[in-house]
Amino acid sequence: MQTRLTEILGVEHPVMLAGMGGVSYATVVTAVSEAGGFGCLGASTMSHETMVREIADVRSSTDKPFGVDLLTAMPGSMVAQVEAIIEGGATVFVAGLGVPAEVVELCHANGVLVVNMCGKVDHARRALDAGCDMVVAQGTEAGGHTGTVATMPLVPQIVDAVGEQIPVVAAGGLFDGRGLAAALALGADGVWMGTRFIATPEARSVIGYKEAMLAAGEDGTVVSKAFSGKTMRVLRNDTTRFYEEHPNELTPFPEQLGISMNGGFFHLGGDEHTPGVDPAREGYPTGQGVGAIDALIPAGDLVRQIVAEAEGVLASLSRYAGR
């Protein structure tokens, strides 16, 4: 399945692993890239040293393209971080929050593509003006930090605004091949999937995360500021309910992030061995597609399954052509 996305990324399939902080580490990134998709490290929760090590682990495990996702709003030297991404052999830099205008030229001078996450049409226009090579149109159905516009109306509007100039990738609530087929029908060139890839053996997670996802229904998520001070779609639990009932105790980002981490109910970057995790209170970023997930599937198999299902859907829809 070839699109502008596969051509510009140099991959077989238009399926991108979301660069999820705390989840998208080298093992799952390598598995996705090896299967012909595009793996992306979620470096927003990593120290600089950890990011460099994870990049090296991916590069030593596969010769396929991969990227690194950072939150540009986080403190620290963006230039130094991007230089490390370039030196490590990544082919794409993804800006999770804000347009990274100060590093676009640096990336392009070193053959690295720049991707920007967008929740509104204006975000996409600014990304195009800044020289970004593609945008991800992420609807509010997505897990983690998210906006207010749903995927179905957002994607075609961003396609209309910038799609003639650069590829648009759809994200938010997409979890299988039907979502990929729908994204292509909306004019996107591929998909950026997060939540579905958390439910893989290779994904990093703290205790209880995957189990809670498998048990959740389609209404099991809520957009809350409880864990970072910014709107984040997470699994509904005791912590989200507490702040719903006590909104006056919420503080702005990044103060609320410090409160949740120091308070022991948000273990960013932890794994199944991280102590002190209470599944009833822990922050588990999760998209609305979670209700459709009922089993862990190896990441490589998942890539191939998504593409095969999308091809089947598109073939079946061809019967409507010409009627």
Q: Cα-atom radius of gyration of the chain, to the nearest Å?
A: 18
pLDDT above 80 for 286:
yes
For the ranges 4-13, 45-54, 76-85, which has the lowest average pLDDT? 76-85
Per-residue pLDDT at 76: 64
pTM over 0.85: yes
Q: How confident is the model at residue 74 (pLDDT cuts 50, 70, 90)?
A: low
Rounded average pLDDT over 205-213: 97
The domain segmentation of the chain, as residue ranges, is 4-202+295-320, 209-290
Distance between CA atoms of residues 109 and 111, nearest Å:
6
Confidence band of 103 (pLDDT split at 50, 70, 90)? very high
Helix (H) / strand (E) element for 203: namely none
- The CATH homologous superfamily to which domain 4-202+295-320 belongs is Aldolase class I (3.20.20.70)
- Give dist(CA 177, CA 78) in Å, integer: 35
Share of the chain above pLDDT 90, in %: 92
What's the pLDDT score for residue 71? Answer: 78
pLDDT(75) > 60: no
Residues in Cβ contact with 87 at an 8 Å cutoff, skipping those fewer than 6 apart:
none
Q: Per-residue pLDDT tens for 141-165?
A: 999 999 999 999 999 999 999 999 9
**pLDDT above 80 (res 322):** no
Q: pLDDT tens digits, residue range 15-28?
A: 999 999 999 999 99
Residue ranges of E strands in 129-217: 134-138, 144-145, 168-171, 191-193
Specify the pLDDT at position 73: 58
When pLDDT is averaged across residues 214-230 and rounded to a whole number, the result is 97
Bond prior to 254 in cis (omega within 30° of 0): yes
pLDDT for res 310: 98
Which of the pair, 260 or 100, is modelled with greater confidence? 260
